[in-house]
Each structure stands twice: as structure tokens, then as C-alpha cells.
Structure 1
Amino acid sequence: MKILIIEDEINAAKELERILLNQDTTHEVLAILDSVEASIDFLERKNPPDLIFSDIQLADGMCFEIYREVPVKSPIIFCTAYDEYMLDALETNAVSYILKPITEEAVAKAIEKFKRLKSAFEPAATTRSIEKLGQQLKYTYKKTLLVEQREKIIPLPVSDIAYLYLEHAVIKIATLKGQQYFITSTLDELERMLDPESFYRANRQFIINRLAIASIERFFSRKLISKLVVETPETIVISKANSSDFLRWLEGVGGV
């Protein structure tokens, strides 16, 4: 089985590689990658691995950026020191979630689960099951965000938000009425708080509200530009890899 390891802690990566090769000599570790950028480059250029072991917090960002940028079909076993990203994992091709420190027993159980799923379900059925689990956890999405304005903290209904924008490590929120606020969270944290039926992570800078979209324009290299009903600080570009998913989301029949 061809396996890709995405892990920025070299000792943890080498230990995982040792465990995998010790458990089955037919396992082949294609590469050990330590960043979002390197992983995107590898997955765009190489044939897909049979299985991915993926850390979540990498040297240059969250691993979920990889799976938004590249349409990865390989099953993923997440390995992390945190249990707070399980919902995000459900929105990918996750088959298991291992909490560090990684042990031989945990890896063996995760691979066994992967093999059972592979033999028992068609890929489409597995994907539908994951999506169903995500829907069951929908109650965790925020209805209101607490935003800052001068010395005040204001409760802002998420339905009033047009977009969220990352600029120089600061998150700016613009409303459908043109008001602007700031919030002390990361864009990744905010993405987990918002209902994916209403909000879409367009790229690394923007999360946009479906209600704020005025039109979509085709861009070169099969990318898309999303025009909103309010002005934005820069053009919102949807990558070629995400363009089909974005259009399905806009129609209400897909997306994450």
C-alpha cells in the first residue's frame, strides 16, 4: 500500500514511518511532507496515494487548506494532539482520527478500520456517510458572533454577515449593510463556527455568505470570480480545483 505522511514534526513522522513498515513490509511511504505548500505541490503532480496520514497543524497553516485546494480522493487518517478538529475531519475523506502520541496499536486499529471500509462500501457511499455525520453535528454552528467596535462588544447575527476577510493577521467582518467590525479569532476557527450551507471558504483570505453573492464570473485557467453585493478589499478568486465544488454549493447541492 502506497502511503503519504503529512507531518511537520520530523521525529513523529519517522516514528510513524517505522510503525507502518514494521506492521507490513508491503507498505511504501511515498514521501514525508511538512507543509501545506509542499503537500499541495505533491498531490497536484503525483498519482494519489492509497492512504494519507495527516497531521492537522503544519508549519505554514492548517492541513484543511490542502484538501480545499486539491480534490483529494485518497482516504485520510488524521494524527493530531488536539481533539477539537473532528468536525473538520468529517468534512474530508477521514476514516480515522488518532490522538498523539501515536502508538502501534492506534495505527493498527486505524488501518484495520480503513480496510473494513474499503471492502464494505463503495467510495460514494462512504462519502455520503461522512456528510450525514457532519449534518448531524450541525447544531454546533454559531448563530451570533461577538465582534468588537472601539470599546464595545457587539452581538452580530451571522445572517447579517456578507464576508469575513483576513488581512495582516487581522479578521475583518463586513455586513450586508456595509458595516465593518473586527474579531479576535482566526479564519480557520471562524470557518468551523459557521454553517457550511450558508458560508463558503472561497480562499485563504475570504469566507463569503451565500446571500451576499451577486454574480459569478469566469476567470482564466478555469478559475471563478465571486462578485458580492458589497465592495470587497480585493477580488475574490475561486481556484480551478474548487470551482465545481463552489458552483454545486451555490446551487445547494454540494460543497463543504
Structure 2
Amino acid sequence: MKVVIIEDEKPTAKDLKRTILAAEPGATIGALLHSVEEAIEYFKDNADTDLIFSDIQLGDGLSFEIFKRMDNQVPVIFCTAYNTYFSEAFEATGIDYILKPFSKAAIEKALEKYDTLEKWFTRNKDTYKEQLSLLETKITPKKNAVIIRQRDKIIPLEAAAIALFFVDNGYTFAYTFSQEKFIVNENLEELENSFAPSFFRANRQYLVNRKAVKDATHFFNRKMIVNLSVPYKEQILVGKLKTSLFVEWLSQY
């Protein structure tokens, strides 16, 4: 997911970048833009943005001018100190409205909303593309291993030996039942496509092997904690939008 931030206060822009990457480790920040003029110029040559975080009152005008000029179709999460622009925000492809000072929880909630909307609209694309995707899934063999590169060696690591995949500081790792950790080249989306349904995407950071799940515990705000059969220091949460899918997955695989 490629994110662009429009914010005229540079320290705030950097803080927002850090918060987004902490909440969504798989995201990339395409640009930090600080004015209406700079943003209009940027979007002339960069049409591959997935999501925009934008302030409203910038030093040279309101950010709505940017979206009018670029005929914007990209979802926007507005992050502003003013609570007087709700109607304009949602007319400008806005999907959420966060008041400053923002919190990590507010950013996470907005990103969850984006994920839900993105999956909904993807699911409802035209039938031909769905059928083509289904056909490709049927004829594309699932992988049984990932490739680990160590110096001059290429080592196949079998999926059955992997308890989970996780993202940390922009890198994807495989964590094995023997408590070893290896860097892998694929991202979590690619690994999910290769190893589902034996593995479940608990959240943006973790892809868990069914054989590694001992049980699950209810958590605050309808989330669940995944308890593993192997020692692992971090807490793995399943978001409330995925808990029913997770329970169904536990019962089937």
C-alpha cells in the first residue's frame, strides 16, 4: 500500500509517517507534501497512490483544491485541527476525519476502515476478473517452501517448519517451530497467497500457521489474542473485523 501525506507542518508530517508505519508495517510512504502547489505538481506524474492522509488548512490554501484539480479518485483520510469541514471532506472522497492531535489508535482505526472498504470494492469488481482470478488460483500450484538465502547458499525452508511469518522494520521474517528466524524475500500478501489456507493473516504484521495456534483468548474491543504452541515474545492480535473468520478457520483447518 502506497501512502502520500499532505501536511504543511514538517514535524507533524514526520510524526504521522512514523505512526502510519508503526500501524501498517507493510505500507510505503510515497511522499511528504507540504503545500497545495507541491501536491498538485506531484500528482501530475504519480497516479499510483493507494491512500492519502491530508491536512485541510495548508499554508497556501485548502487541500480540497488539490483534489478538485487532480480529479481525485484516491480515498483520503483527513487529519486536521478543525472540525468545521466534515461535509467538504466527504465530498472529496474522504473516508475518515481525524482531529489533531492524532493518536496511534485513531490512525489504526482509520487504516482498518480503509482495509475494509478496499476489500469490499475489490470483491465487487466485474465478474470476468473474478472468474479469471479464480482460474489462475486453481491452476497455480501452492508453494511448499520459501527460499532462504544465506551468503552463497539457497536453502528451501518447508512451510511445515514455519510457525509464522511477520514484518519488522520493513523486513519480512519466517519464525520456525525450532525458534529460528530467517529473512524472506516475499511480502506477507505474496506469502498469504502461497500458503493460505494453512496460514491465516491475523493482522497487517502476522501470518500464522494453523499448527502453531494453541488457542485464542478474547481481548478488549472484540479483538482476540492468538496463543501459540511455540514461545514468542510479541502479542498477536486478530482485529474485530476478522475474529469470525479466524474462528471459522480454526474449526476447518
Q: With structure 2 as the length reference, what TM-score do the two structures score?
A: 0.52
Partners of 1:240 and 1:151 lie apart in 2 by: 44
Matches within 5 A, 1:64-213: 69-70=115-116, 74=120, 76=121, 93-96=123-126, 133=134, 137=138, 139-194=140-195, 196-213=196-213
Larger CA Rg, structure 1 vs 2: 2
> What is the Cα deviation at residue 189 of structure 1?
2.5
Q: 1:213 to 1:246 in 2, by over 3 A?
A: same
Distance apart, 1:230 and its partner CA: 1.3
Residue 197 of structure 1 and its aligned partner are, at CA, apart by 1.4
Q: 1:138 to 1:249 in 2, by over 3 A?
A: farther
Map of 1:52 onto structure 2: none
Deviations along 1:35-78, one digit per CA (max 9) or x if unpaired, are xxxx5x47xxxxxxxxxxxxxxxxx9xxxx7589538895x2xx
Residue 135 of structure 1 and its aligned partner are, at CA, apart by 9.2
- Corresponding residue for residue 14 of structure 1: 71
Aligned equivalent of 1:222: 222
> Alignment identity in percent?
27
Question: What are structure 1's unaligned runs of at least 5 residues?
Answer: 1-5, 18-28, 34-38, 43-59, 77-91, 97-112, 115-128
Q: Provide, for residues 206-233 of structure 1, a one-character-per-residue CA deviation record: whole Å limited to 9, x for no partner.
A: 1000011011111111110001111224
- Change in CA separation of 1:135 and 1:181 when aligned onto 2, cut-off 3 Å: same
State the 1:154 CA deviation. 0.9
Provide the rounded CA distance (Å) in 2 between the counterparts of 1:228 and 1:148. 27
Alpha-carbon RMSD? 3.9
Contact 1:149 1:182 in 2 (8 A): no
- 1:85-122 deviation line (CA, Å, top 9, x unaligned): xxxxxxx52323xxxxxxxxxxxxxxxx79xxxxxxxx
Structure 1 Cα separation of the partners of residues 171 and 212 of structure 2: 21
* Helix, strand or coil at the partner of 2:71: helix
**Structure 1 runs, 4 residues or longer, greater than 6 Å off:** none
Pair 238,232 (structure 1): closer, same or farther in 2 beyond 3 Å: same
Query: In 2, Cα distance between the equivalents of 1:159 and 1:175?
Result: 9
Q: What is the number of equivalent residue pairs in this alignment?
A: 163
Structure 1 distance, partners of 2:69, 2:210, is 40
Asked if the contact 2:218–2:225 (Cα under 8 Å) also holds between the matched residues in 1, the reply is yes
Tell me the equivalent position of 2:93: 32
